[in-house]
Amino acid sequence: MTQMNRRDLMAGAGALGLASLMPLRASAGIDIAFDSLFAVDQVAKVRAARGVAPFDCFVLDPGPAAAAQAAGLFEPIDASKLANGPKVPTGLITSHGVTCNAQVVGIAYNPKKFATPPKGWADLFKSPYVERLGLTGFQTTFGTVSIIEMAKVFGGSATNVEPVFAELKKAVAKAAAVAAPAAMPGLFQQGQIDIMYTNTNTVAILKGRGVDIEFLKPETGAITFQTTLHIVKGADNVASAYKYIDTAISAEVQTELQKQPYNMIPINKDVKLVDTLDIKSLDELAKMVTHDWTVINPQRAAWIERFNKEITK
Amino acid sequence: MAGVAAVAGGVPGNKVDWRLAAPLGLTYLAFFAAPFVILLGVSFYADSEQTRLGLDSWTKFYGDAFYRKVIFDTLKLGVFAVLATTLLAYPLALVFRGASPRAQRVLIFIILMPLLTSVVIRTFAWIVILAREGVVNQTLIGLGLTSTPLNLLQTELGLVIALTQIEMPLMLLPLLTIMNGMDQNLIDASRALGASKWRTFFKVTLPLTLPGWIAGATLVFASSTTAFISQSVIGGARLVYLPALIYQQVTVVYNWPFAAVASFTLLFTVLAGIMALGWLGRFARTS
């Protein structure tokens, strides 16, 4: 068995790591060391390492992935080295990344606290929802794309979020919480907030803990984006990284990932979806709203600064 | 005082061998001083891509009223945490001083208990306590003191309450040490000469325990102004403090020169607070 030290392989995605660990050990004789990091932290760590790869694989959301791609932090992907590659829908393996699961973002609410559920993004800014709303800004992928969709319903676009800032300024005084993204599930669980924008993964996890929560696709459509695996530029163990990625997209691991406690939407075509996910088939993803992060990223720093200044006290 | 003078002056022929401090000194040089210099260098890049030099990050940070308010709020949080821990720690320290040895052991265990739990766990526990459906609100509603839950989370008040509990051992431990070593005869003399309990406290106890309070206040101030987890989780995004701003600039915005300026600001403002507390030491009495 190949024993790797801590700086050899993998960062992020504890769930992905845990589900892949045993199959990878069994099939390829590879042991994995993990660094449990948010996507943004992974990119920051590799940038700070300045060419000395601190680990071999990234697990990223599209925002940080686009930033890392622009900074030249990825090795190219040779799809022919992935035995499970043909099981992944066309377009989900690119020149520098392999999709390992899909995320669906929409509105999550407590059905016991509202007589009628909201219909769309605009409802979040109206009573009785706004008083129980948990707001989060542009730090995360789900937060950013949700606010862009809110901007659209108020007449804005992915390049014009002005209309939503006007609404946010009015809503912030009434909102139940303006919090860090990672704090939102805890605030929902404790009843501090009863409505928020988040992904199906978080909803399934909370539901699994007995929290009263339902996922709702806004009338303008739910948002989808992919979580992708990448090989870090200058990685020490490229061959092992390919085996890891191949294992992660295998039907065996993907089947496990869609169950509790991971609740991830699989991308392997051979996997039969479980009914705890909020989608019935992978075809639904094609009808959902998507975003171009090469357009979003250049504006994001200014949005974050503006959110800090205008929405916070 | 003679004993103190002898230590300060050193014993002739018994010179300190500075090589004893070499392991720690070299470690500091490699892992603190060197990164410190690199950080200073990064702060003088004018753009987030670090392609050209300039003072842009400094002028943007200090020229913007929002960031100046973030500095002020961070320092204010530290001051509030010191005040709150002081108000609660002194009475407890006086109780401790008057307690039997067995009761003192129990008290020490209770005081140290929070330190045995991770600060992350303690912080998240405060969500359960301060939330709308938390213990505090349920109690207040149950007692009929309020009809609607109070907003305690995501407020400066809630954050100060949580930090007071989280940082309390740092204030109490130095205070207890110095208070236990205080000469009881001085207190008895003050009372025998007709001073009230309050006058005795302010004229005798407080000056004598000031070195312990300064040590505790320094620890609480430094710890609460840099308490990233508590500030983020309890304070939320409505309250912006320097640690969260630095994290955001490093990991999300990737503007490292700006983050370096914020880091230096945090370091030196906390240092200034600590120096101010140290300056108070000149008013301390040792006997």
**Closest A-chain CA to B68:** A309
On whether residue B11 sits in a domain, the answer given is no
- Would the CB atoms of B251 and A41 count as touching at under 8 Å? yes
A186 vs chain B: nearest CA distance in angstroms? 8
CB burial string A206-232: b at 16+ within 10 A, e below: bbeeebebebbbbeeebbbbbbbbbbb
Domain membership flag for residue B220: yes
Note whether residue B223 is domain-resident.
yes
Q: Give the domain CATH number at B144.
A: 1.10.3720.10
Residue B215 in domain: yes
pLDDT at residue B286 in the model: 58
A312 in contact with B, Cβ within 8 Å: yes
- Residue pLDDT, tens place only, A41-67: 899 899 888 889 999 999 999 989 998
Give A-chain residues touching B134 at CB under 8 angstroms: 190
Mark yes or no for CB contact A44/B251 under 8 Å. yes
Helix orientation angle between B206-225 and B156-180, rounded to the nearest 10 degrees:
140
| A vs B: CB pairs below 8 A | 83
CA distance B37 to B42: 9
Measured between alpha carbons, how far is B177 from B96 in angstroms, rounded to an integer?
10
Domain that holds residue B250: 53-283
The Cα of A130 is separated from the nearest Cα of chain B by a number of Å equal to: 15
In a domain, B24, yes or no: no
The answer to whether ipTM exceeds 0.90 is no
Chain B residue at shortest CA distance from A172:
B238
Instruction: Identify from A141, A169, A192, A297 which residue to disrupt to test chain B contact, counting B C-beta atoms within 10 A and taking the largest count.
Output: A192
pLDDT-derived band of residue A10, with 50, 70 and 90 as boundaries?
very low
Could you give the number of structural domains in chain B?
Answer: 1
**List of domains in chain A:** 14-102+225-284 (3.40.190.10), 103-223+291-311 (3.40.190.10)
- Looking at beta carbons, which residues of chain B come within 8 Å of A178? 154, 236-238
Mutate to test the interface with A, among B67, B77, B154 (most CBs of A within 10 A): B154
Q: A135 and chain B: CB distance < 8 Å anywhere? A: yes
pLDDT digits (tens, 9 = 90+) for A94-138: 999 999 988 899 999 999 999 899 999 999 999 999 999 999 989
pLDDT for B77 beyond 70: yes
Confirm whether B106 is domain-assigned. yes
Would residue B191 count as lying in a domain? yes
In a domain, B189, yes or no: yes
Per-residue pLDDT for A22 more than 80?
A: no
The HSE-up count of residue B93 (CA atoms within 13 Å, CB side) is 29
pLDDT in tens, A183-224: 889 889 988 899 999 998 889 889 888 999 999 999 999 999
Question: Does position A2 have pLDDT exceeding 70, yes or no?
Answer: no
Contact present, B188 and B236 (Cβ < 8 Å): no
Residues in chain B within 8 Å Cβ distance of A186? 124, 127, 233
Tell me the C-alpha distance between A243 and A98, whole Å: 12
B2-25 per-position pLDDT tens digit: 333 334 445 555 677 888 889 999
